[in-house]
Amino acid sequence: MDSNKKLLSISIPDSLYQALKNYQQQQQLEEPTSAVIEILTQFFQLGEEI
């Protein structure tokens, strides 16, 4: 694992998981992790620095 990356483990409600899976499919992302990273990057307005 890249030492600059942190591991998070979370539990989310089914409705939120389904919304995440829908976003993942719409954005054609392979992994839910990629969807979460993209959503957080946009939310915190971090641009492409990740």
Q: What is the pLDDT of residue 3?
A: 76
> Would you list the domain boundaries of the chain?
14-43
Give the 3-state secondary structure of residue 3: coil
Radius of gyration of the chain (CA): 12
Predicted TM-score of the model (pTM): 0.79
Q: What is the pLDDT of residue 21?
A: 98
Q: What is the pLDDT of residue 10?
A: 96
pLDDT tens string 1-50 = 567 889 999 999 999 999 999 999 999 999 999 999 999 999 999 876 55
H helix or E strand, kind and range, residue 33: helix 32-43
Q: In terms of Cα–Cα distance, which of 44, 37, 48 is closest to 6? A: 37
Helices (H), the chain: 14-26, 32-43
